[in-house]
Amino acid sequence: MQYPSPQDQRLYHEQVWKLVRQVPYGKVTTYGQLAQMIDCPPGIDENDYDMLGSRWVGTAMSACPNDVPWHRVINSKGKVSTRPGAQSQQQRLEKEGIVFAHDRINLTIYGWPVEERTGAPAQGDLF
DNA sequence: GTTGTGACATCGC
DNA sequence: CGCGATGCCACAA
């Protein structure tokens, strides 16, 4: 993907939303995953993007349309975001069949995409 | 135009 | 395992 014009700033957000929309029912993804999946915008070092990309994703989610299943996006800790209404978010996820273990989601099972993920975060003694 | 927040991830202690 | 500090962009007032 390339970024032809400055409007990419908006496109970046749209890309995030697109990816979130692609998340299948009963699956969840993390901000870090999304940040890695999306190519870093022009004029930005991948190094920095790797660190801060997740933030932009969060910023993008702050303005996510209603048709975006934002509740399927969680943080690396396997927990719902610190955003207001997180409680409701967990409820929605459980409603979709996702099981919370100790207020945490087992990304090994519900993680998306299903690709191999080296060093699953926050798994530890979960399983 | 400037200032202040923010729905994150990672490392150190 | 929890808390604090760091990195940076986008957006609203």
Domains of chain A: 9-116 (1.10.10.10)
* Of residues A65, A78, A52, the one with CA closest to residue A20: A65
Residue A8 — pLDDT band, cuts 50, 70, 90? Answer: low
What pTM was computed for the model?
Answer: 0.83
Quickly count: other Cβ atoms within 10 Å of residue A26's Cβ: 13
Q: Which of residues 63-122 of A touch strand C (CB under 7 A)?
A: 63
Q: Using the CB atom, is residue A124 less than 7 Å from strand C?
A: yes
Q: List, for residues A55-86, the tens digit of each pLDDT value.
A: 999 999 988 888 899 999 999 988 898 887 78
